[in-house]
Structures are given as C-alpha cells and as structure tokens.
C-alpha cells in the first residue's frame, strides 16, 4: 500500500505552472499509538496557496498544507474509530497519518453534501460570514459590492449578504457566463465583467447610487473603484488581493484616491479567517436551514481524481472555477 502526494519543487516566476510541482509516491507508514490513517475524499485548492508558493512554509505531512475531508481507514486512536469523517489540513496527498490534535470530526447534517464542509460551511463560507458580520458589520438595507463574486468566497458572500438583509447586491466577475450566473443563480441584482473596461467606469453603472459595503477579494483597481462609489461612513472588508498574487515581490501601489478614506470617513479593515474560528458553530446554525431549504446554493466546481489537483489549482488562479474549487480524490 502506498500514498501519492504533491510537493512544490521551485518558486514560480509570475503565474504558477505544472513544472513548479512534482508527484511523489511512498509506502504508507506504520501507525504509532494515538495515530490514524486517513484516506482523503475531498481536497481544497485556494488562492492563499499562491502566497505559500512565494514565501515557503507550505509543506505539511507527505504533501502540502490544504483543507481536506477524509475518512479514517485505520486507527490506533480510540476516539477516532475506523469510518470517522474528519477535517484536517494535511492536504495535497491521497492519505495522511494524523493524531486527534490534527483533526476535527465532521458529522454532515441531513440533506447537506459532505463537500459543503470545505465550501459554504467551511473556511470559504466562514470567511464570507465573518467579513460581512464582524468586519463590515452589515446592516439591513446596506448596498453591497463584492469583487470576484463568482469565486468561492465571493459567491458565498453574495448569498449570505442577501440572507442578512442587504439591499442592492452587485458583483464583478471574469466572464459573461459568470456575470449571468451571479444574477440568474445567486441572487445578485447586477454584475459586470471586469475585463470589459476600466472597473472605475463599470462599477458606477451597476451601483449608480453608491454602496455602503465593499467585500474585497481583489484589491488593485477594484479597491480604488469601490472607494469612489462608497458612501460616507462606508466599510470595506478586505479579504484577498488576487490582483497582485503573481507579483508578490513587487510592492503594490496605493489606490490613487486613498485620501478619500478620510474625506468620506470610510473604514477599511483586513482580516484572516483563522482569527475567527469561534464563529464556525454560529455559521452552521445560520446556514444549514437555508441550504436544506434551497435558499443557499452549494456553489462548487469539482475536479475528479487526485492527479487533477495541480491543474485544478492553476485553473482556479485563472478563474476557471465557479464557486469553490474542489478535488474529489
């Protein structure tokens, strides 16, 4: 019996490529007391991993760090018997040898797919929920703009904002098909394709009366455009900066209109979801009834087979996914 894992072999110059990784196969190790062997079922690929490629520290276990769902198939830990479903972060491998401290037991709610616990009920949904409730402190009636809105966090943020009573919800996306997906399937009031022209020109057309909240997954020109249309006392929850992930060694320039933050009394706050894990139970209690009732869509793109993980990661960085990008091992 053996496991297969992926390792990074070089730092990319610009956009990552398959040549930056290698697949390795090794025998499954014998378990020590207190350990379990987990066979991975779903693996997550996420934008933050691009930063790991630049600065290092991505290695974990046999493969690379990544959110994962798996099943215990061999156990020397009484609290984790064979058949237990667990969440862990030793991804990018077909198997992982773990201890109880490495995992969180998952008992999927009835009528909720297991994959949701890596997406809308996982770190993705938690990021969206925390950004809206704790960082932006969204209020009923607030008008909201979400960048990269067809991606994992963006599509979750749009749906959650609607449940929280937002007024007008608008988003940006990378293609006409994704724009249609936002308005047809996810309840956005309007959206635009950010390749269709300057964001500073496109955003005012879908938000002519301004916005109260900007959920930022992109940075760059999206942030500058949002500052232009934010009303007084508007709030920005800054989650990611996809616009600069392939140029992390080059300091980004500040938005040209940054001083408007003072003039409009705006608040811009960045956050990391790992500092808000205490909100997980609150998120599940809030969302599970809406998932069961069909008000919230488990929005995901699933690549099949462990051999697809590198392509899935690179594809996600190029916007080939709709919603959460997952690999079904």
Identify the band that residue 57 occupies on the pLDDT scale cut at 50, 70 and 90: confident
CATH number for the domain including 316?
3.90.180.10
Q: Is 70 left (phi over 0), alpha (psi -120 to 50) or beta?
A: beta
Domain that holds residue 315: 2-109+302-328
Identify the band that residue 153 occupies on the pLDDT scale cut at 50, 70 and 90: very high
Query: What tens digit of pLDDT does each residue of 98-151 get?
Result: 999 999 999 999 999 999 999 999 999 999 999 999 999 999 999 999 999 999
Identify the band that residue 250 occupies on the pLDDT scale cut at 50, 70 and 90: low
Query: What tens digit of pLDDT does each residue of 134-148 get?
Result: 999 999 999 999 999
Q: What is the pLDDT of residue 249?
A: 58
Q: What is the pLDDT of residue 252?
A: 66
Look up residue 9 and give its DSSP letter: -
Q: Are residues 131 and 267 in the same domain?
A: yes
Q: Are residues 246 and 321 in the same domain?
A: no
Query: What tens digit of pLDDT does each residue of 276-311 get?
Result: 999 999 999 999 999 999 999 999 999 999 999 999
Q: What is the pLDDT of residue 56?
A: 85
Q: Are residues 10 and 58 in the same domain?
A: yes
230 occurs within a structural domain: yes
Neighbours of 30 (CB within 10 A): 10
In sequence order, what are the residues at sequence separation of 6 or more whose Cβ sits closer than 8 angstroms to the Cβ of residue 246? 12, 14, 15, 50
Q: Are residues 232 and 263 in the same domain?
A: yes
Q: What is the pLDDT of residue 59?
A: 94
Whole-angstrom CA distances from 57 to 7, 15, 22, 235, 251 are: 12, 19, 17, 33, 21
Q: Are residues 167 and 269 in the same domain?
A: yes
Q: Are residues 35 and 65 in the same domain?
A: yes
Q: Extract the tokens encoding 327.
A: 């690999």
Identify the band that residue 253 occupies on the pLDDT scale cut at 50, 70 and 90: confident
Q: Are residues 66 and 142 in the same domain?
A: no
Q: Calculate helix-pair angle for 280-293, 123-130, nearest 10 degrees.
A: 100
Which 3 state secondary structure label does DSSP give 160? Answer: helix
Q: What is the pLDDT of residue 241?
A: 75
Identify the band that residue 1 occupies on the pLDDT scale cut at 50, 70 and 90: confident
Q: How many domains does the chain have?
A: 2
Whole-angstrom CA distances from 288 to 154, 160, 246, 280 are: 19, 12, 36, 12
Bridge partners (DSSP) of residue 267 are 235
Give residue 61's Cα distance to chain centre.
22
Q: Are residues 96 and 133 in the same domain?
A: no
Q: What is the pLDDT of residue 13?
A: 87
Q: What is the pLDDT of residue 197?
A: 97
Q: Are residues 153 and 234 in the same domain?
A: yes
Q: Is the pLDDT of residue 195 over 60?
A: yes
279 occurs within a structural domain: no
Q: Are residues 103 and 152 in the same domain?
A: no
Q: Extract the tokens encoding 287.
A: 């969302």
Q: Are residues 44 and 127 in the same domain?
A: no
285 occurs within a structural domain: no
Identify the band that residue 70 occupies on the pLDDT scale cut at 50, 70 and 90: very high
């Amino acid at each position: 019996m053996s496991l297969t894992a992926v390792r990074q072999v070089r730092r990319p110059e610009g956009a990552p490529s398959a040549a930056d990784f290698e697949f390795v196969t090794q025998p499954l190790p014998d378990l020590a007391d207190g350990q379990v062997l987990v066979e991975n079922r779903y693996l997550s690929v996420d934008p933050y991993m691009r930063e790991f490629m630049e600065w290092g520290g991505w290695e974990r276990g046999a493969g690379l760090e990544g959110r994962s769902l798996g099943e215990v198939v061999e156990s020397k830990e009484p609290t984790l018997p064979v058949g237990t479903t667990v969440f862990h972060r030793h991804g990018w491998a077909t198997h992982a040898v773990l201890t109880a401290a490495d995992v969180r037991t998952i008992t999927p709610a009835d009528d909720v797919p297991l994959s949701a616990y890596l997406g809308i009920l996982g770190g993705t949904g938690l990021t969206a929920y925390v950004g809206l409730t704790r960082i932006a402190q969204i209020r009923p009636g607030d008008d909201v703009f979400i960048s990269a809105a067809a991606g994992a966090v963006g599509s979750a943020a749009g749906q959650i904002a609607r449940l929280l009573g937002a007024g007008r919800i608008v988003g940006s996306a990378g293609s006409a098909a994704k724009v249609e997906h936002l308005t047809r399937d996810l309840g956005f009031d309007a959206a635009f394709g950010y390749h269709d022209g300057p964001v500073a020109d496109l955003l005012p057309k879908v938000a002519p009366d301004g916005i109260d909240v900007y959920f930022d997954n992109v940075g760059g020109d999206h942030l500058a455009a949002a500052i232009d249309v934010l009303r007084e006392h508007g709030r920005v929850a800054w989650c990611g900066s996809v616009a600069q992930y392939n140029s992390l060694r080059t300091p980004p320039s500040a938005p040209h209109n940054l001083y408007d933050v003072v003039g409009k009394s705006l608040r811009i706050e960045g956050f990391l979801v790992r500092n808000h894990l205490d909100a997980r139970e609150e998120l599940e209690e809030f969302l599970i009834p809406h998932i069961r009732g069909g008000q919230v869509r488990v929005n995901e793109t699933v690549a099949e087979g462990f051999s697809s993980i590198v392509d899935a990661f690179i594809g996600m960085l190029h916007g080939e996914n709709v919603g959460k990008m997952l690999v079904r091992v």
